[in-house]
Structure 1
Amino acid sequence: MTDPQLALTMLALFIVLVFLGFPIAFTLMAMGIGFGYYAYFDGSRMWRAFERLDETASSWDSWSLWFEGFMNNRIFDLFVNQTYTVMANEVLTAVPLFLFMGYVVERANIVDRLFSTLNIASKNIPGSMGVAALVTCALFATATGIVGAVVTLMGLLALPAMLKARYDPSFAAGIICAGGTLGILIPPSIMLIVYAAASGVSIVQLYAGAMIPGLILVALYIVYVVTRSILQPSVAPRPTKEEVPDVPMGKLLWMIVTSFLPLAFLILAVLGSILGGYATPTEAAAIGALGGLLLAVAYRALTFQRLRESVYLTVRTTAMVCWLFVGSYTFSAVFSYLGGEHIISEFVQSLDITPLQFLILAQLIIFLLGWPLEWSEIIIIFVPIFLPLLAIFDIDPLFFGVLVALNLQTSFLTPPMAMSAYYLKGIAPPSVKLTDIFKGILPFLAMVFIAMIVVYVVPQSVFFLPEYFYGR
């Protein structure tokens, strides 16, 4: 078996092990070290240790020299170096800070106030409660970037309110599931930070590039909710005064000032400092973490228990991402050394496809990978396989990254493996069936594909803000 064939075997075996349920990070490390031991094997390095053996050597000396000879392989040097490289990556430093901001905001009792305020403010709009839920999801998801947390919290808060207001269960469930996934696209997105670390693209330009496509997707969601509410009023009846009471304008403005503006100001301060060049993403993330703590104090929601939970969840999620990077870097280094990337590049070029066909093929593969895998695993493990091919087809990695971010919305919305549906089902009333949730998210899935088409047809939707702020 040639080295390139061994590399493809390595990739195929990894996919099989993932489907069997093995932990992905440790599977990557084991596969990388295992195949890397063969790839980097140097007999002279091993036998150098055994040359020190003589007849007087004890059993312990023999075993220790044997172990020294076994470990005298460059794969172990590579593994250690990759671990330090990941841990010293300045881009990834922003991950725990943004996560901490999100977990603190999640526990600060801001979302219930925000949803109530937006629900009252938009009561004259068709599908007002759905629109309020979407805007709340967009703001909250932007502040947290944690899909499970947003869907679960909004499911506990908004779903009972919409069901009580006689909303169709599938329609209400689709709104919450779709809105909850927006945090992996709209900056400051953890996913974009991970893509920047994997691809080498500037995280600042990624944030600027993803802003307009993210707003396009939110707008498509809102247009769909309002349009369907007008054409089919039974799915979203207008609220009665008992359900949404009239509030004097002065009181409504005070509700907006105390619920909407603080969170919006925090998000704008973080994004503005990044896009304006006043702070690096890591520094802005630190500002956001401090702002989240101050909001929790202002809302009298900061307790030691909540702070401890936020720190614990931050450490756990950050460790997962970092160890995925360690495993991926080791795996990809061995895969490339064996000639795997070269053989894939040659195969794709032999297909004689256009850049559009390549984009469709790549996005289709990522779409399918979204069924069994999390977005972090797709970005860290599989997207780097496509990155060397972008130059061949003259595709900007920034543009490709935004398309991938849009595409990964589908990994949470595509039955039968739509994770957002399972998050919601876990806390929904028994009357809301999983099939109802699947039925409700399909129209929003179509909106994601429409947004991807719009971005491809109008690439300036991605490039306008990066060029405006930073030039070509």
Structure 2
Amino acid sequence: MTDPQVAVMMLGIFIFVIMLGFPIAYTLMALGVGFGYYAYYDAAIMARVYQRLLGGADPDSFYGQLVWIRALFNNRIFDLLVNQTYSVMANDVLTAVPLFLFMGYIVERANIVSRLFTTLQLASRRVPGSLAVAALITCALFATATGIVGAVVTLMGLLAFPAMLRARYDTSFASGVICAGGTLGILIPPSIMLIVYAATSGVSIVRLYAGALIPGFMLAGLYLVYVVGRAWMNPKLAPPPPEEETAGVSGGQLALMLLTSFFPLAILILAVLGAILFGLATPSEAAAIGALGGIVLAAAYRALTWKRLEESVYLTVRTAAMVCWLFVGSWTFASVFSYLGGEQLIKDFVTGLEISPLLFLILAQIIIFLLGWPLEWSEIIIIFVPIFLPLLAHFEIDPLFFGILIALNLQTSFLSPPMAMSAYYLKGIAPPHVQLVQIFKGCMPFLLIVIVSMVIVYLLPGTVYWLPSLVYGR
């Protein structure tokens, strides 16, 4: 069996094992170390080390057995594992991940979102589907602040979904709004997914953020157009609120509510994003500003308690540790896979097909779409995207453009049945009468909108390149 064949077997075993439900980070490390021991094993070197350590002692003695065990561990795979662990922990780009996570968790627990949704509901009361519009804007803003799909869908499912059902909204329509809005944080900066992609691909995070802004707001805008259009054409889907519920709020009161609920969170996000895009701070420094701003906001709303702070720190550490150990396992696995010739084998196979760049893009996006069913975005970005990256130069595809397409594509992984995780998050906290099939039905139009937005981005690449070129030049 040749080394490239061993590499392919290594990849096949990994896919099979994760389908059985084993923890992915530890599976990657175990396979990386196991196959790495084979890849870097040299019997002659181990024999020389053994003889040198033995130094004339009896090989069958207890000391001789200890020397043999020590010689067994004389393999470069262990040095590789330690070096990869250190590289991940010392990566400046990844420092921003726990800080952005902390900002999101502290904002989530400060009851800011509840105030924001109520205010936007009143501000959009004259718009068709006002509750759905308010829910989408709240989801977009909150998802941008947190970047955690499960947290956004769950919180908005507890907050906005019951309000829409009480207002006699169509169950599928309301479900689709919550599920689709909750995924926007993957794409709209400051996105944690883009930070992880930058660390994986070597693309500048500030250029990624600049490139994702227009596609992100375009997708959110298409969602809003669809919601308002459907509610206008079929008012039974989203009945307008009764006059008595909104008549008692004057323009001055509404302005005060916006000033105290919408603008503080929006200013915090814009400050963090502006500091990154205009070069005033590195992503890690801006994330630290955001974390501090989240604490200040929670204190200003009198929601900063020791219990909430403790919960936010615990959740931040747990999620950040998962991401970092995924990187350690992935980079160890990828190093061994490449050393055995697996990466070159895949590259030779794909380039030998003589397909066009467009067909390669379509195939890559289909594969990522399918991977989104059983896997989270973090696992797709850290484990599988590096397989595509070496092929981009051959097809003359910019990694920046490829990353934005992936960020758009990953929206679909949370919305496409049968493994639409957003739907399962919502089902977990929805009233018992809400069926999973109804939630899936509501997600389908938004899934089509995501595909349309990907086509627009491909046909109009200026949506990705215009802002980075304007701010940073070519």
TM range (shorter): over 0.9
Q: How does 1:181-196 map to 2 (within 5 A)?
A: 181-196=183-198
Aligned to 1:453: 455
Query: What RMSD over aligned residues (CA atoms) do the two structures have, in Å?
Result: 1.0
Aligned to 2:23: 23
Cα distance, 1:16 vs structure 2: 0.4
Cα distance, 1:246 vs structure 2: 3.9
Aligned to 1:383: 385
Cα distance, 1:291 vs structure 2: 0.2
Rounded to whole Å, the distance in 1 between the matches of 2:252 and 2:424 is: 41
1:202 to 185, 204, 209: 204
Q: How does 1:306-455 map to 2 (within 5 A)?
A: 306-455=308-457
Aligned to 2:221: 219
1:224-278 alpha-carbon deviations (Å, 9 max, x no partner): 1011111111110111024444410000000000000000000000000000110
Rounded to whole Å, the distance in 1 between the matches of 2:120 and 2:104 is: 21
Rounded to whole Å, the distance in 2 between the matches of 1:220 and 1:448 is: 9
Aligned to 2:42: 42
- The answer to whether the 8 A contact 2:59-2:65 is kept is no
Aligned to 1:289: 291
Secondary structure in structure 2 of the residue aligned to 1:302:
coil
Cα distance, 1:46 vs structure 2: 1.3
Rounded to whole Å, the distance in 2 between the matches of 1:446 and 1:58 is: 70
Unaligned runs of 5+ in 1: none
Superposition TM-score, scaled by structure 1 size? 0.99
Rounded to whole Å, the distance in 2 between the matches of 1:59 and 1:285 is: 58
Secondary structure in structure 2 of the residue aligned to 1:235:
coil
2:146 to 144, 147, 150: 144
Cα distance, 1:422 vs structure 2: 0.7
Aligned to 1:86: 88
Rounded to whole Å, the distance in 2 between the matches of 1:176 and 1:55 is: 71
The one-letter code of the counterpart of 1:213 is P
Residue 12 in structure 1 maps to residue 12 in structure 2: yes
Unaligned runs of 5+ in 2: none
Rounded to whole Å, the distance in 2 between the matches of 1:300 and 1:146 is: 24
Rounded to whole Å, the distance in 1 between the matches of 2:299 and 2:368 is: 41
Rounded to whole Å, the distance in 2 between the matches of 1:397 and 1:139 is: 27
The one-letter code of the counterpart of 1:445 is L
- The answer to whether the 8 A contact 2:194-2:205 is kept is yes
Provide closer, same or farther for how the CA distance between residues 228 and 92 of structure 1 changes in structure 2, counting only shifts above 3 A.
Answer: same
1:148-198 alpha-carbon deviations (Å, 9 max, x no partner): 110000000001110111100110011000000101110000000000000
Secondary structure in structure 2 of the residue aligned to 1:233:
coil
- The answer to whether the 8 A contact 1:24-1:324 is kept is yes
Q: How does 1:269-288 map to 2 (within 5 A)?
A: 269-288=271-290
Superposition TM-score, scaled by structure 2 size? 0.98
The one-letter code of the counterpart of 1:335 is F
Rounded to whole Å, the distance in 2 between the matches of 1:24 and 1:257 is: 45
1:106 to 108, 117, 120: 108
The one-letter code of the counterpart of 2:30 is A
Aligned residues: 472
The one-letter code of the counterpart of 1:122 is S
1:266 to 252, 265, 268: 268
Cα distance, 1:59 vs structure 2: 3.6
State, as a whole percentage, how many aligned pairs show the same letter: 71
1:127 to 126, 129, 139: 129
Aligned to 2:70: 68
Rounded to whole Å, the distance in 2 between the matches of 1:378 and 1:466 is: 25
- The answer to whether the 8 A contact 1:182-1:214 is kept is yes
**More moved, 240-249 vs 100-109:** 240-249
- The answer to whether the 8 A contact 1:165-1:243 is kept is no
